[in-house]
Chains A and B, each alone.
Chain A
């Protein structure tokens, strides 16, 4: 079974986001991690490999700094990594998906996995777009999947419950938390990771040029959310205060 995992490196969930002088998101000194939902995808991939044998290839987009996240996936047990450098920081979901699809399209694959969203921009687009470009089905927000030759049975989150969906392979499955727990890489895994192949390629090597992947969306402006307003205390005797609180919840907050 050839398993491909699409992975994105993102800011650490605990990172403090600030804007730099030109109004862009400040990347200086921020620690970077594998997108947590992609960790679920890697885990899913490793479980499929353990059951059916095969190979897990992790694919990502970005500069040299992304290697540490790829190395993390290798330390967890993935077999090899491919990093495509888009040669520019000006990218959107179209750019990313076009490049990833082209890179993956040149590989053998039975199943493609990825986090259902990245925690940084949260656009929830890339995996779906990749599936569309490759012409394969996509099943989203998968918490568990049973895979066999030729098909996968995926449990997915839906509003208010779960759905079990059977899909023929090759297909794209996007991972959601809830069903499986990503493993920690072991010390031995970490030591082995540096010996595993990590291929770094540019656009030309997958037959694309900058014009073909030029972004269609441009971020005009970033701004920080307004500081949260202070809470409100309702003073007075308990019975009276409760009455007033109920009134405020109904009339002002409109939550009851």
Chain B
């Protein structure tokens, strides 16, 4: 490990590694095959304080720095990328917005329970016509008396159905277009008129639950307004940068997990009288994979450290997300290649990792959007 970590960060990494090796790794394939939400993982993580790592102690979190949180996502994703994304969404875009923009009452109501893992958080921005272009969202909210009446459908919502609270983006000004008139509401699971729609059958991340959210004259209490009306886009953008570092860490973890399997296999598997790693064709693949993973880790940790220092990080977060997740796809694909026919079979974990890796290039801003962000920053500089 080439990157200096503090004693606490090392202790946390050891703790998470132990937990992962002992409990998460052995269950990962089963959860994937059964398309089952990993409640046991979440319970254990809540117990150990992993559901509120960067949340201040006064709000029930562990009060650790952001890098510790990022390292945790990485370590968990080595073995179970589904649990990695559940944690990342729960924390980065499920809990942080309430902590950063919530009123005292909103924070009291949700943050300590989110940080303890008693509640799971979720983030509802995407709609069928508003993915990379969130300004196009069409879910509406109209204030009637003490309630917002919300109508519309959100899609691809990670933690849909298992979350207690949804940080939801709606249009409060029906005549507005684009980013203006977007407002953020905290939607409780038990809101009348709110329901969970179709559960997606996905290529990977099968243990994480991805659903539609249906708002049919849903009655959201006025006091659940996060920030002020029309402030929604600013809130969303403030979260996405840090969310991206989390997904970068997930990609990094997936890549490392697949690499570990491929390396061990290449040292043991003998073809033409020697371990296949000693054949240049395979050895060079592993050399590239190792280098890409190290580079990805440096980008992800750099972005996390910028966040810890409160410095601008838009470009660096996009670089980290894009590079780490492209690396995840490349490394997992090559890991399957190195394991050959075995790699394609469920008996080995790399086919799952390859299926899990693909989405990391797509969600939390596609890697095309990340390049756009980087390019825009280059123009500004």
What residues of chain A have their CB less than 8 Å away from a CB belonging to chain B? 33, 67-68, 71-72, 75, 184-191, 193-194
List chain A residues, Cβ under 8 A from B47. 186
List chain B residues, Cβ under 8 A from A72. 11, 14
Most buried by A among B53, B57, B62: B62
- Does B131 touch A at the CB level, under 8 Å? no
Docked CA distance A190–B63 (Å) = 10
B11 contacts A184, C-beta separation under 8 Å: no
Determine the residue in chain A with the shortest Cβ distance to B60.
A188
A188-B57 contact, Cβ under 8 Å, with A68-B7, A68-B10, A75-B11: yes
Docked CA distance A72–B8 (Å) = 10
In the assembled complex, the CB of B292 is this many whole angstroms from the nearest CB of chain A, namely 24
A187 contacts B50, C-beta separation under 8 Å: yes
B49 contacts A71, C-beta separation under 8 Å: no
A187 contacts B10, C-beta separation under 8 Å: no
- Does B100 touch A at the CB level, under 8 Å? no
Give me 9 A-to-B residue pairs in the complex whose CB atoms sit less than 8 angstroms apart, sorted by A's number.
A68-B10, A184-B19, A186-B47, A186-B48, A186-B62, A187-B53, A187-B64, A188-B62, A191-B8
In the assembled complex, the CB of A201 is this many whole angstroms from the nearest CB of chain B, namely 20
A190 contacts B19, C-beta separation under 8 Å: no
- Does B25 touch A at the CB level, under 8 Å? no
Q: Known contacts A187-B64, A190-B8; can you find 12 more A-B pairs with CB under 8 A?
A: A68-B10, A72-B14, A184-B15, A184-B48, A186-B62, A187-B15, A187-B53, A187-B68, A188-B62, A191-B8, A191-B57, A193-B8
Docked CA distance A72–B53 (Å) = 18
Determine the residue in chain A with the shortest Cβ distance to B18.
A184
Determine the residue in chain A with the shortest Cβ distance to B52.
A187
- Does B12 touch A at the CB level, under 8 Å? yes
Docked CA distance A188–B50 (Å) = 9
- Counted as pairs of residues, one from A and one from B, with CB atoms less than 8 Å apart, the total is 51
List chain B residues, Cβ under 8 A from A191. 8, 57, 62-64
List chain B residues, Cβ under 8 A from A71. 7, 11
Interface size on B, residues (CB 8 A): 20
What residues of chain B have their CB less than 8 Å away from a CB belonging to chain A? 7-8, 10-12, 14-15, 18-19, 47-50, 52-53, 57, 62-64, 68
**Contact check: which of B8, B53, B68 meets A194 at CB < 8 Å?**
B8
B49 contacts A68, C-beta separation under 8 Å: no
**Contact check: which of A33, A187, A194 meets B48 at CB < 8 Å?**
A187
List chain B residues, Cβ under 8 A from A75. 11, 15
Determine the residue in chain A with the shortest Cβ distance to B51.
A187
B11 contacts A188, C-beta separation under 8 Å: no
In the assembled complex, the CB of B13 is this many whole angstroms from the nearest CB of chain A, namely 10
Docked CA distance A236–B52 (Å) = 63
In the assembled complex, the CB of A204 is this many whole angstroms from the nearest CB of chain B, namely 27
In the assembled complex, the CB of B218 is this many whole angstroms from the nearest CB of chain A, namely 35
Docked CA distance A236–B18 (Å) = 46
Docked CA distance A2–B4 (Å) = 38
B18 contacts A190, C-beta separation under 8 Å: no
A190-B12 contact, Cβ under 8 Å, with A68-B7, A184-B18, A184-B19: yes
In the assembled complex, the CB of A86 is this many whole angstroms from the nearest CB of chain B, namely 23
In the assembled complex, the CB of B190 is this many whole angstroms from the nearest CB of chain A, namely 29
List chain A residues, Cβ under 8 A from B8. 190-191, 193-194
A68 contacts B11, C-beta separation under 8 Å: yes
B11 contacts A193, C-beta separation under 8 Å: yes
In the assembled complex, the CB of B54 is this many whole angstroms from the nearest CB of chain A, namely 10
